[in-house]
Structure 1
Amino acid sequence: MIKHTKELIKKNLGINLKTFCIQNGFDLDTLNNLLSGKTKGDREGTNAYKIKQFLIEHGLFTQENEKETVQIDTDNIKNPLLKNFFIVTFNKKFSTKTMKEFIKFTHKKVPAILDLYFDTTVQDYIKDTYFIEKNINAKDFSQFCFGTSDGSTKGSKAYFIKQKLIENGILPIISK
Structure 2
Amino acid sequence: MTVNQQKTRVRFRRSVAWILAGTVFLLIVLSYKQLSRPACDEWIGDYAARPGEEALLRIEREGDVYILIRHEVDNGEVREPLDPMSADELLDDQDNPVPIICALRGDGVKLIKLPSDSSINPTESDNRNTSIYPAATQYLMGVSVGFAGGVVGLYPVPHQAKLKIFGGASEIE
The verdict on a shared fold, with TM-score over 0.5 as the criterion, is no
What interval of TM-score do these two structures reach, taking the shorter chain for normalisation? under 0.3
TM-score (norm: length of structure 1) = 0.24
The structure with the greater share of residues assigned to strand is 2
Larger CA Rg, structure 1 vs 2: 2
TM-score (norm: length of structure 2) = 0.24
The structure with the greater share of residues assigned to helix is 1
